[in-house]
């Protein structure tokens, strides 16, 4: 991803002096990058969904952890990270099945043996021991699809140069317009 210095300052100035130009730039950036995000999302929704279903991952149900595919989007001018555009992919309809499967297996620390406890209407403090389902899920996904970042991220890496090129073209057009105004 291309890094740009001073995005926060330029954004602040554009909001103050030319808010319509900033809105137009965001709109153009979204429209330029939308075909790429849609292409990545449709590849995953068609190819990987059928692979997951054929291998019986038990992610196809009506609950919150269901895999109902994913949708792609574009977030713009994330000034804290100094990037102009960011592609985002998340599960459809608020389901987190895709999110779980994309990042399953990232372990920053060893997993707990016993859950966090809680108090309930019944007397006492409650908790349970983990039975290893998450570990099996992670191992199966890694065996069948690779390491975490296995769906959208690996496809993004293949298209990264194209994304950077299109975002740079939009930015260059608007840099010329801003320079003419100044």
Q: pLDDT tens digit string along 46-102?
A: 888 888 887 777 777 778 888 888 899 888 765 555 667 788 999 888 788 899 899
Give the model's pLDDT for residue 82.
Answer: 62
Q: Which of 2-6, 51-55, 178-182 shows the lowest mean pLDDT across its residues?
A: 2-6
Q: What would the mean pLDDT of 148-161 be, rounded to a whole number?
A: 93
Give the model's pLDDT for residue 80.
Answer: 59
Report whether pLDDT(123) > 60: yes
- pTM equals 0.77
Q: What would the mean pLDDT of 105-122 be, rounded to a whole number?
A: 83
DSSP single-letter state for residue 64: T
pLDDT top residue among 178 and 71: 71
The closest of 51, 159, 158, 171 to 101, measured between CA atoms, is 51
The phi, psi pair for 20, rounded to 5°, reads -65, -35
Would you place residue 2 in the very low, low, confident or very high pLDDT band (cuts 50, 70, 90)? Answer: low
- Report the C-alpha gap between 63 and 81 in whole angstroms: 34
Non-local (6+) Cβ contacts of 167 within 8 A are 2, 29, 32, 33, 84, 85
Would you place residue 137 in the very low, low, confident or very high pLDDT band (cuts 50, 70, 90)? Answer: confident
């Amino acid at each position: 991803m291309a890094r740009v210095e001073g995005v926060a300052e330029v954004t602040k100035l554009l909001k103050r002096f030319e808010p319509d130009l900033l809105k137009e730039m965001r709109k153009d950036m979204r429209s330029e990058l939308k075909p790429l995000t849609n292409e990545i999302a449709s590849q995953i929704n068609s190819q990987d969904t059928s692979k997951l279903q054929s291998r019986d991952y038990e992610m196809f149900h009506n609950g919150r952890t269901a895999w109902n595919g994913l949708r792609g989007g574009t977030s713009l001018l994330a000034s804290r990270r100094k990037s102009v555009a960011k592609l985002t992919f998340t599960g459809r309809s608020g389901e987190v099945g895709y999110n779980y499967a994309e990042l399953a297996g990232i372990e920053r620390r060893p997993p707990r043996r016993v859950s966090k406890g809680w108090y309930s209407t019944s007397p006492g403090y409650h908790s349970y021991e983990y039975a290893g389902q998450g570990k099996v899920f992670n191992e199966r996904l890694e065996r069948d699809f690779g390491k975490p970042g296995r769906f959208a991220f690996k496809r993004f890496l293949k298209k990264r140069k194209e994304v950077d090129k299109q975002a740079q073209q939009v930015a260059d057009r608007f840099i010329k317009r801003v320079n003419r105004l100044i």
